């Protein structure tokens, strides 16, 4: 599958996308010339688009990946197949390898490159939420990404669930009522992104992950930035080094 023109995201509904004049994946093939470059690309997938060819996508997966996808409901299977296929396609382009031959493994629940590709300097993270998926590929840093549908949740309920630190509860409670639900979702995406970047997931108490209280900032050793996504969702990216992510749409095939 050849590389497609990259689309830069313009905030608003999914159709509002402006096409770039060229494809600009992370600098991996020329890393001998720019080995210290830190980059991060995030691909957006509209999983609700009926044009996705799921059988074609499934053919790119390993037998273990297909078996894992089959353990879910039809909707879960479709989601897992498409996200993993796009991850393989993206990595194949960057590594000059056929998508089905990209040496992918799972470690602590997250996808990792194995074999010779383990030394490529690439790190990956994926997330799905209510019909939207994100595939993040970073070069030169660890990465974690999380996307969530924005839900109306009372801050008292969130506090009772225990995933907010006391200072975070107080900060959310002090906001105007109309801003609290968005602030809760933003903080959750930031915590999830950090936990994914760390490779520990929810084995670490989310309340111990500090959040900056805005769209961007630091959480311990991690840099946090917001990922622009369609209305109704919020997404955050965590990286071990400062980076300006390039946001792109992956068209169905």
Which H or E run includes 179? helix 177-198
How far, rounded to the nearest angstrom, does the alpha carbon of residue 181 sit from its chain's CA centroid?
21
What are the sequence ranges of the domains in the chain? 7-25+38-143+241-249
CA dihedral 216, 218, 224, 230 (to 10 degrees): -30
Three-state SS at 138: strand
pTM: 0.85
Q: What are the pLDDT digits (tens) for 40-93?
A: 999 999 999 999 999 999 999 999 999 999 999 999 999 999 999 999 999 999
How would residue 37 be classed by pLDDT, with cut points 50, 70 and 90? confident
Please tell me the CATH code under which domain 7-25+38-143+241-249 is placed. 3.90.470.20
The residues near 69 (Cβ < 8 Å, ≥ 6 apart) are 58, 61, 76, 77, 80, 81, 84
How would residue 36 be classed by pLDDT, with cut points 50, 70 and 90? low
Q: What are the pLDDT digits (tens) for 112-166?
A: 999 999 999 999 999 999 999 999 999 999 999 999 999 898 999 999 999 999 9
Which H or E run includes 190? helix 177-198
The residue with greater pLDDT, 139 or 16, is: 139
Residue 26 has pLDDT above 60, yes or no: no
Least confident of 27-31, 134-138, 212-216, 243-247: 27-31
């Amino acid at each position: 599958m050849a590389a497609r023109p990259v689309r830069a995201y313009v905030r608003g509904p999914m159709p509002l996308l402006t096409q770039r004049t060229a494809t600009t994946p992370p600098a991996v093939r020329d890393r001998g010339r720019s080995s210290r470059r830190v980059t991060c690309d995030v691909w957006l997938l509209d999983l609700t688009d009926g044009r996705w060819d799921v059988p074609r996508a499934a053919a790119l997966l390993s037998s273990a990946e297909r078996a894992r996808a089959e353990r879910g409901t039809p909707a879960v299977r479709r989601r897992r197949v498409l996200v993993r296929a796009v991850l393989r396609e993206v990595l194949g382009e960057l590594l000059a390898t056929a998508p089905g031959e990209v040496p992918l493994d799972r470690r602590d629940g997250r996808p990792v490159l194995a074999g010779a590709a383990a030394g490529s300097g690439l790190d990956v993270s994926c997330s799905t939420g209510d019909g939207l998926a994100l595939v993040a590929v970073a070069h030169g840093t660890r990465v974690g990404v999380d996307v969530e549908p924005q839900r109306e949740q009372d801050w008292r309920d969130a506090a009772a669930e225990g995933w907010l630190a006391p200072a975070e509860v107080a900060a959310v409670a002090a906001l105007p009522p109309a801003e609290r639900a968005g602030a809760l979702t933003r903080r959750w995406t930031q915590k999830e992104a950090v936990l994914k970047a760390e490779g520990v997931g929810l084995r670490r108490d989310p309340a111990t992950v500090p959040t900056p209280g805005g769209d961007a900032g630091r959480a311990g050793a991690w840099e946090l930035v917001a990922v622009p996504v369609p209305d109704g969702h919020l997404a955050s990216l965590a990286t071990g080094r400062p980076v300006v992510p390039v946001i792109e749409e992956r068209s169905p095939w």
